[in-house]
Structure 1
Amino acid sequence: MNYTTQMDAAKKGIITKEMEIVSKKENIDVNILRQKIAEGKIVIPANKNHKSLNPEGVGEGLRTKINVNLGISKDCCNIEKELEKARVAIEMKAEAIMDLSCYGKTEEFRKKLINMSTAMIGTVPVYDAVGFYDKELKDISSEEFLKVIEKHAEDGVDFMTIHAGINRETAEVFKRNKRLTNIVSRGGSLLYAWMELNDRENPFYEHFDKILDICEKYDVTISLGDACRPGSINDATDASQIKELIVLGELTKRAWERNVQIIIEGPGHMPINEIAANMLLEKKLCHGAPFYVLGPIVTDIAPGYDHITSAIGGAIAAANGADFLCYVTPAEHLRLPTLEDMKEGIIATKIAAHAADIAKNIKGAKKWDYEMSKARQNLDWEKMFKLAIDPEKTRKYRKESMPQHEDSCSMCGKMCSMRNMNKVMKGKNINILREDD
């Protein structure tokens, strides 16, 4: 039986090879997986032209996935450096990489990235349009925007951020409800500016059916962009954000009618006490579609440490229903991340995702922690290193400050609770001030 997309196959009762792979990875019955894909609650972003892909599922009941942003810009346009970041991100088991390139040889970089990446690849076509045509934003036509989307799809991009929710109606709500930080989404601000400069509807909203034609042809998952995401905690859960979310829910249904898979993008900056309610709103208004969040960043005062503010918000968001976390690095709000920034961002986001998986009772999540605790109780340092989320750093810290007694660490020494409890539970004496008998 023929099918066009993973969702089309799922609705027809077909088990694809991608579904089989995800089923084994997630330890979930393949028929349950297929049913949730048919309902739109799980997606498998897998462009037909991405031949090196090792597919992943995103959505209800699955492990929380993480995405890494990278790409070339006018100020930092070294393709090899960005490809090296991609290689390291894949080694660190990031499930997705978004190419946010906005200057120079974007096509060359994108094709190299897709060819070498086993992780799913996402892009934001509106970023690429200005450089692709070498035109000012105002002069790019609706048809030209669509051509960029088709080019990315043809190249093998698995999911694309399409800011279709900021239509003229949403823009009017934004104008009537003043914000502290206006529109902070780069793609959203570009499309808002295009609409204002041309006095026309957002081409991604006006021609959404044509975008669906492209995505159905190549099986591209649409990540419906949150152009009105809050850029400060002051603007969180406001009229603009909620209005756009309502539009995204309407677009989701239109996409599902065409068997195009959908992810919904979300906040943004947000106080901790508003996160759970926002997860509930998205799932309700967007009919259970997978939710992809940037952070949320829970305070605005920590430039240089936003991988931490983001991980706090990400853990709470995913524990309350978010399915996909976009990493944030220490360089957020400051500059293009370095390789080391990227590593820190990945680790922080992986910690958040795993903490949420424990809360969501995802199969196997607690087993990792159980094995680590067992290794700690046994003072099995080598096992601890292997189980650590960052083995390199744990080995480094241990090596930099070796204790006198190897069955302890340099913080507690012979007062180590694990060491002493192991001894006393076996009926042995505990010698702290002198050598053991």
Structure 2
Amino acid sequence: MNYKTQMEAAKKGIITNEMMLVSRKEKIDEKKLRDLIASGKVVIPANINHKSLSAEGIGEGLRTKINVNLGISGDCIDYSKEMEKVDLALKFGAEAIMDLSNYGKTNTFRTQLIERSPAMIGTVPMYDAIGYLEKDLLDIKAEDFLTIVEAHAKEGVDFMTIHAGINKRAIECFKRSKRLTNIVSRGGSLLFAWMEMTGNENPFFQYYDEVLEILREYDVTISLGDALRPGSINDSSDAGQLSELIELGNLTKRAWDKDVQVIVEGPGHMALNEIAANMTIQKRLCHGAPFYVLGPLVTDIAPGYDHITSAIGGAIAASSGADFLCYVTPAEHLRLPDLLDVREGIVASKIAAHAADIAKGIPGARELDNKMSDARRRIDWEEMFSYAIDGDKAREYFESSSPSEKHSCTMCGKMCALRTTNKILAGEKVEFCSEKLA
């Protein structure tokens, strides 16, 4: 193999096995896909040590992908429950899973996850710093952070969130902006605290070339983290967010020069009217690199329903150019999500991604919708359930209130519009008074 990364292969004109697989999945010409990867507009996160991976592409002209976050915390330490969430994510076809565990030694769970998961695996090495190194934050040295990055890369992680953009310049902009909600990124806040306590530059920024060398060795895609993403609609599009984005654009080009694939992360919380413009700005400042958004959440007053606020923002973001959606569950801002929360979050995110793909005109995006509509016209319930994003839930609703007439539901009964129209078009009479109404 005379290349290290998918990007290097693409630049050399090589079509890899991963590219061929993504080409078939996306119904895109192999050479066109290769050229998009060479330009940085598409990535295929595929660590050489992730042997169970079924490669996926993220970026321009491809289906919008979704990511599912999971992992333990100090208050909820049950890896078996997290593995159930993994199974649920795979069942619903999530293309990526991020292990955000932030307590104790997490590598055993992560290794098992990589061994069994065909989905891309992502991590945030900064979360693992204290548990992995067994040091308090102030005692961690700059070189220690690189040790964690290398450990995750060797294990087979396909993409890593690296908060390299929150340097001293960006922090000055953040401080001047006088935010309502300050820093809401967990990794970003830890780096901010480390920098303020030590007086040092962000080690991921200062030693960025060394980070890239590690990622290149294992073909890990760097997901440039938005440490200063807005955590409230009041703070969106402020100087802190945009100053970091400018830094991320420069870091994107530096990574491409090393043949490291790049994803850029985005907001956050953001009012509806700002989303489309932010997607355009990101693509411009970051040279068309794939954009990965958390939400955006379009209002701050819906705790318990933030999978909905996120899906609204995610659909607008993806239809305006975002390529990768991070799911948000009803438990966001409240607690670690349980299985039901995860299910609701996945489905909401899948709906947003699919709606955006229809709007973007992604080839084949409407196929299932047309099949569903045809099945509805024929009132074929089993076929409808088979096309639904969550067929089990659809069936549960239907069967919980059974109609007397099988070609209807209990909303309209025999007055079902489709049933009436089908009968008339078939030359049959529609009669109600001679029959008992449902």
User: Considering the TM-score relative to the shorter chain, is it more than 0.5?
Assistant: yes
CA shift for structure 1 position 81 = 1.0
The separation in 1 between residues aligned to 2:181 and 2:434, in whole angstroms, is 63
2:211 counterpart letter in structure 1: I
Write the mapping of 1:138-217 to structure 2, written as runs, cut at 5 A. Answer: 138-217=138-217
2:203 counterpart letter in structure 1: P
Aligned to 1:51: 51
Aligned to 2:253: 253
The separation in 2 between residues aligned to 1:230 and 1:354, in whole angstroms, is 25
Helix, strand or coil: the match of 1:252? helix
Q: What does the per-residue CA deviation read over 1:31-58, in whole Å, with 9 as the maximum and x for residues that have no partner?
A: 0000000000000000000000000000
Write the mapping of 1:120-131 to structure 2, written as runs, cut at 5 A. Answer: 120-131=120-131
The separation in 2 between residues aligned to 1:44 and 1:33, in whole angstroms, is 10
Identity percentage of aligned residues:
67
Aligned to 1:85: 85
Helix, strand or coil: the match of 1:365? coil
Aligned to 1:340: 340
CA shift for structure 1 position 426 = 2.1
The separation in 1 between residues aligned to 2:395 and 2:426, in whole angstroms, is 29
Kept in 2, the 8 Å contact 1:77–1:104? The answer is no
Aligned to 2:374: 374
Kept in 2, the 8 Å contact 1:5–1:216? The answer is yes
Aligned to 2:408: 408
The separation in 2 between residues aligned to 1:140 and 1:352, in whole angstroms, is 40
Q: What does the per-residue CA deviation read over 1:125-163, in whole Å, with 9 as the maximum and x for residues that have no partner?
A: 000001111111111001100000000000000000000
- RMSD of aligned alpha carbons: 0.8
In terms of mean alpha carbon deviation, does 86-95 or 228-237 score higher? 86-95
The separation in 2 between residues aligned to 1:138 and 1:403, in whole angstroms, is 65
The separation in 1 between residues aligned to 2:363 and 2:100, in whole angstroms, is 33
CA shift for structure 1 position 427 = 2.4
CA shift for structure 1 position 72 = 1.1
The separation in 2 between residues aligned to 1:129 and 1:216, in whole angstroms, is 21
Helix, strand or coil: the match of 2:67? strand
CA shift for structure 1 position 177 = 1.1
The separation in 1 between residues aligned to 2:296 and 2:433, in whole angstroms, is 49
The separation in 2 between residues aligned to 1:105 and 1:415, in whole angstroms, is 61
1:12 counterpart letter in structure 2: K
Write the mapping of 1:291-310 to structure 2, written as runs, cut at 5 A. Answer: 291-310=291-310
The separation in 2 between residues aligned to 1:142 and 1:158, in whole angstroms, is 23
The separation in 2 between residues aligned to 1:164 and 1:105, in whole angstroms, is 24
Helix, strand or coil: the match of 1:422? helix
CA shift for structure 1 position 105 = 2.7
1:65 counterpart letter in structure 2: K
Q: What does the per-residue CA deviation read over 1:319-372, in whole Å, with 9 as the maximum and x for residues that have no partner?
A: 000000000000000000001100000000000000000000001111110000
The separation in 1 between residues aligned to 2:397 and 2:81, in whole angstroms, is 28
Q: What does the per-residue CA deviation read over 1:225-282, in whole Å, with 9 as the maximum and x for residues that have no partner?
A: 0001000000000000000000000000000000000000000000000000000000
2:60 counterpart letter in structure 1: E
Give 5+ residue unaligned stretches, structure 1.
none
Aligned to 2:15: 15
Aligned to 2:328: 328
Aligned to 1:313: 313
1:289 counterpart letter in structure 2: A
Aligned to 2:422: 422
Q: What does the per-residue CA deviation read over 1:39-90, in whole Å, with 9 as the maximum and x for residues that have no partner?
A: 0000000000000000000000000000000001111111111111111111
CA shift for structure 1 position 433 = 2.7
The separation in 1 between residues aligned to 2:307 and 2:152, in whole angstroms, is 29
Aligned to 2:118: 118
CA shift for structure 1 position 425 = 1.7
Kept in 2, the 8 Å contact 1:180–1:234? The answer is yes
Aligned to 2:96: 96
Q: What does the per-residue CA deviation read over 1:193-240, in whole Å, with 9 as the maximum and x for residues that have no partner?
A: 100000010000000000000011000000000001000000000000
Kept in 2, the 8 Å contact 1:23–1:33? The answer is yes
CA shift for structure 1 position 381 = 0.7
- The alignment status of 1:232 with 2:232, answered yes or no, reads yes
2:75 counterpart letter in structure 1: D
The separation in 2 between residues aligned to 1:384 and 1:368, in whole angstroms, is 10
CA shift for structure 1 position 428 = 1.7
Q: What does the per-residue CA deviation read over 1:156-206, in whole Å, with 9 as the maximum and x for residues that have no partner?
A: 000000000000000011111100000000000000110000001000000
Aligned to 2:290: 290
CA shift for structure 1 position 10 = 0.1
Kept in 2, the 8 Å contact 1:318–1:324? The answer is yes
The separation in 2 between residues aligned to 1:104 and 1:194, in whole angstroms, is 20
Helix, strand or coil: the match of 2:389? coil
Write the mapping of 1:22-37 to structure 2, written as runs, cut at 5 A. Answer: 22-37=22-37
1:373 counterpart letter in structure 2: S
Kept in 2, the 8 Å contact 1:222–1:262? The answer is yes
1:171 counterpart letter in structure 2: I
The separation in 1 between residues aligned to 2:114 and 2:402, in whole angstroms, is 44
1:185 counterpart letter in structure 2: S
The separation in 2 between residues aligned to 1:427 and 1:112, in whole angstroms, is 61
